[in-house]
Amino acid sequence: MPDLSATAALLTSPAILFFFLGAAAAFARSDLSIPEPVAKALSLYLMFCIGFKGGVEARTAGLNGDFLAVAALGLALSALMPLLAYMLLKRLPRLDRSTVCAMAATYGSVSVVTFAAGQQHLATLGLSSGGYMAAVLALMETPAILTALLLLNGAGRGVPGQRRTVLKEVFVGAATVMLLGSFLVGMLSGTAGMVRLELFVGPLFQGALCFFLLDIGLTAARRLMEGGRRLTPSVVAFAIGFPLLSAAMALGLSRLAGLDLGNAALLTILAGSASYIAVPAAMRLAAPEADTGVFVTASLAITFPFNLTIGIALYTAATLWLWR
């Protein structure tokens, strides 16, 4: 069973509570709001921090064989699972294309908090994973977003010259440049760069995350109250069922690739998670019309608690059973 005290600590963390504060303020018809320019700046800042720290961690981990194997699986899962999610989601009623693509990105990307909870759960069981798994976490943030942006823009469809326009938007857009560019800067500057930016990408990140999730809570709740794309039973079923499917696929691929027990368990936990930081930040820029009342709320209000209370323990138990 999951560590209930650890679960309670995660659910009462400031960032998560600010999300619920934003939602409560919206439901109470408060005039609280985050100005749009500030919200956009927060989005860029969060992507800068995620990308930069991931690049530093990837350089620190080095290019050993174990890291490359896990990274390759993580990248493949993050890039390809949104395609499967898209095919399933487009069959659901009352979901527009932008929201379907945003949700596909959400469930192809990963959750930092779920990763941390997974590490803690594995530690209580005496299982260890490679330190480079933090770099794998960072690597799995971006491919799902790129896949979703390609789906959103219909790359390769219509006029032949359209492909170049779409690819330019995907790879030169603000969200992509900030994520990938910051990752590259982190890899090039390494720990020396982290020392210089430690305050900016460390402690300040938590405060910005609280403001960002406050805004996301406000937006998601207001979208729900406006009678937009509500969480239908089919969306709720997807928010629980798809992480189970993703985790099962990661588990099978990890076994085929011969990963050790700890790395396989943590990769499975990552695959079963869903983003509530990087994807909302990117989609705010790339697809502002996507309904946050669906894809953010599904991830944060359904998948996230499910993983903390049931999913992490279930994924770990399945890994233990398959490896032993």
Higher-confidence position of 213 and 167? 213
Q: What is the pLDDT of residue 293?
A: 82
What is the full DSSP assignment across 63-91? S-HHHHHHHHHHHHHHHHHHHHHHHHHTT
| Domains annotated on the chain, with CATH | 4-22+33-323 (1.20.1530.20)
If you average pLDDT over every residue of the chain, what do you get? 84
Residue 130 to residue 198: CA distance in whole angstroms: 23
Other beta carbons within 10 Å of 236: 14
Residue 168: which pLDDT band, with cuts at 50, 70 and 90? low
pLDDT at 93: 84
**Sign of the four-CA dihedral 39, 41, 47, 50:** negative
Please state the rounded mean pLDDT for residues 24-30: 93
More confident residue, 209 or 77: 77
Cβ within 8 Å of residue 6, ≥6 positions away: 117, 120, 121
Its pTM stands at 0.76
User: Tell me: the pLDDT tens digits for 111-163?
Assistant: 887 888 888 788 878 888 876 788 888 888 888 988 988 888 774 443 444 44
- Of 95-109, 130-144, 145-159, 291-305, the range with the lowest mean pLDDT is 145-159
Tell me the average pLDDT across 161-187: 70
pLDDT digits (tens, 9 = 90+) for 235-271: 999 999 999 999 999 999 999 999 999 999 999 999 9
Mean of the pLDDT values across residues 59-86? 89
| Contacts of 145 by beta carbon, 8 Å cutoff, 6+ apart | 105, 109, 175, 176, 179, 278, 279, 282, 283, 286
Residue 57: predicted pLDDT: 79
Query: Does the pLDDT at position 167 exceed 70?
Result: no
Which is it for the CA torsion 30, 35, 40, 41, positive or negative?
A: negative
Query: Which position has the higher pLDDT, 284 or 241?
Result: 241
Mean pLDDT along residues 82-105 = 92
